[in-house]
Every structure is written in C-alpha cells, then in structure tokens.
Copies of this chain bind each other. A is one copy, B any other.
C-alpha cells in the first residue's frame, strides 16, 4: 500500500495546470477562440490531427492561424446550430478514422461551450462530450455529498465505487451522485436527474439537497485538459435509506465516518475531482481548519482556481 498523501498533494493532483498563461507559454497549445473569446485550449498534437481532418473537407470547419497559435470556426459556421452540426459531422468522421483515441469512448452527450450572447442561452456551440478534453473547453458538473446524521450528531458519508466498466476512472471512489451538466441542462435539473440515475434517490428526497457553493480546478489527465466548474450540494439521507444505482455506473456503496473518508482520500483512492469535492465538504463543515491543516490557505486557493473562459448565466433562458 502506498504512503498517504497530504491533502494539499491530493488537491494539487487535480488542479495540476498552473494557468492558461503557463500552457500558452509552453508553446504546446493552441487557443480555441469563438468571436474573439478564448473558449478552450488544444494541444499541438491534436491540432495536427484536426488540421488533417479539416483538410479533407471542401468546406473546412476551422481556420488555423499557426503564427498566432490559435484557431476558430470558419465564417460559414456563424451560429450555434451551424457550428454544432459542423463539429458533429467532423468528429464522427474523426471517430471513424480513429484520429483521436478519445472518440472511441463516444458518449452521445453534448457539452455546451459558452461565449455567445445571452439570448442564445449563452451557448456558442455544442460538442460531443468525449471530445471535450481535446478541445480543452470549460465543463460544468454537479456533485452531491450524501450524508447521514445520527441522533448524537455523528456524520457519515455515502461513497460510491465507480463501475469497472466506466469510461473514465473505473474502480475509483466517488460521491454518491455526481455528473457533468450536458445538453444545455440547468444545475438543479442535473442534480435531480443524477440523484435518480446514479443513486436511485427519489425526487422527494433529492429536493432536500442544499447547495454549498462551487469549486473550480484546471486539470489535465491522459484524456486531455479540463478546466471545470463543479456545483456542490449536501444531501442528508434518512438513516435507513440505501442508495441503489439504476444506470449500472456504480459497483458498490459504502457508508463511512468522515475519518474513514479522509483515510481513503489520502490513500489516493478517490477520483481526483471527487477528492476535491470531499475536501471542500470538510472545509465548509469546519472539519478542516487552519488549526489542524498547515496548508489550509493553499488548499482553499487550489479548489477555487480562476478559469478565464466564458461562463453561463444560470438559470438558462430557454
């Protein structure tokens, strides 16, 4: 068994990209821009593949400026619909040719890229989730800490073990309910949906979840880049309630004391961004303080990484 890590090491393993500037200075990344706004970052390797894929079309989807190390949509992709359609066609060709390995894990779930005027929900383009890491776009998710409180006040937390068949991080520990906000859904809408799908939590219980805030990190994994905003919720579950996944995404649930959760956390058994949500939970509930954690200030800074990409104004105007 490996040595336990410090909590700062745990959060830095997730928030591992220092800044957009550091990536751009490394010369290995291109700016992905829409309407002059930076909406993502793509590695030079992925740019090469993307350029080849685009060159096969008479009407290329993207225009590349190798001098400025930036690319954007061609003029004929002038609005949300045309951009989304064009990217969908391009990515499905790239999936067929195996241009990007990530596309083998096609999700059939569209992620919104914000940056457009508000009257269009702020969405500039929708992109297949599997390619989100290649485009380095800002993503959004909800994480729900499912807890129980005994009469004496002891708090326990439900923890999920991700199914070995999950596309990402199989077998790692996870929140009872967590998911990306896809298809232009709202935040609360996503909480209710994920509670039902991932935890088998009925809507009347899910409705009692309370939002505790929002965390942000800029992470990089073998999948690619991911600047992510997570909306965090706490949900007090009845003591007799046992979660039961309805979508096959979880192998097992555990009900652990917070000490047990912290032990697994420092053994690096949690999916990295789920670990960050747990750390945020411990901070919000006064379990982690400057009195017991010397890296307190640096930890809080690491879970609130500024992300210089356009954000939506929720609730979305439909």
Q: Which residues of A contact B (CB under 8 A)?
A: 186-188, 210-214, 216, 229, 231, 283-286, 289-291, 294-298, 300-301, 304-307, 311-315
Contact of A214 among B297, B305, B307 (CB under 8 A): B297
- Report the bound CA distance from A296 to B294 in whole Å: 30
- Given A229-B297, A231-B290: 4 more A-B contacts, CB < 8 Å: A187-B289, A212-B283, A290-B315, A297-B311
Q: How far is the CB of A16 from chain B (nearest CB, A)?
A: 16
Contact of A295 among B283, B296, B313 (CB under 8 A): B313
Name which of A210, A290, A298, A304 has the most chain B CB atoms within 10 A of its CB.
Answer: A290
Contact of A306 among B213, B290, B301, B312 (CB under 8 A): B301
Q: Given A297-B312, A301-B306, A311-B297, is A290 in contact with B213 using a C-beta cutoff of 8 Å?
A: no
Q: Which residue of B lies closest to A303 (CB)?
A: B304
Q: How far is the CB of A142 from chain B (nearest CB, A)?
A: 10
Q: Which residues of B contact A214 (CB under 8 A)?
A: 283, 296-297, 300
Q: Which residue of B lies closest to A295 (CB)?
A: B313
This protein's copies in its complex: 2
Contact of A211 among B231, B286, B297 (CB under 8 A): B286
Q: Given A312-B297, A314-B296, A315-B291, is A286 in contact with B212 using a C-beta cutoff of 8 Å?
A: yes
Q: How far is the CB of A214 from chain B (nearest CB, A)?
A: 5
Q: In the complex, are the beta carbons of A311 and B298 less than 8 A apart? A: yes
Q: In the complex, are the beta carbons of A314 and B300 less than 8 A apart? A: no
- Report the bound CA distance from A295 to B188 in whole Å: 16
Q: Which residues of B contact A211 (CB under 8 A)?
A: 283, 286, 289-290
Q: Which residue of B lies closest to A314 (CB)?
A: B290
Q: Given A187-B290, A291-B186, A306-B306, is A213 in contact with B283 using a C-beta cutoff of 8 Å?
A: yes
Q: Which residues of B contact A229 (CB under 8 A)?
A: 297
Q: Which residues of B contact A304 (CB under 8 A)?
A: 300-301, 304, 306
Q: Which residues of B contact A210 (CB under 8 A)?
A: 285-286
Q: How far is the CB of A10 from chain B (nearest CB, A)?
A: 17
Q: Which residues of B contact A301 (CB under 8 A)?
A: 216, 304, 306-307
Contact of A284 among B284, B311, B314, B315 (CB under 8 A): B284
Q: Can you show 15 pairs from A to B with CB atoms below 8 A apart?
A: A187-B289, A187-B291, A211-B283, A212-B283, A213-B300, A214-B283, A214-B297, A214-B300, A290-B314, A290-B315, A294-B313, A294-B315, A300-B304, A304-B304, A306-B306
Name which of A210, A216, A296, A311 has the most chain B CB atoms within 10 A of its CB.
Answer: A296
Q: Which residue of B lies closest to A304 (CB)?
A: B304
Q: Which residues of B contact A285 (CB under 8 A)?
A: 210
- Report the bound CA distance from A208 to B283 in whole Å: 16
Q: Which residue of B lies closest to A209 (CB)?
A: B286
- Report the bound CA distance from A289 to B300 in whole Å: 20
- Report the bound CA distance from A264 to B221 in whole Å: 45
Q: How far is the CB of A188 from chain B (nearest CB, A)?
A: 5
Q: Which residues of B contact A306 (CB under 8 A)?
A: 301, 304-306
Q: Which residue of B lies closest to A187 (CB)?
A: B290
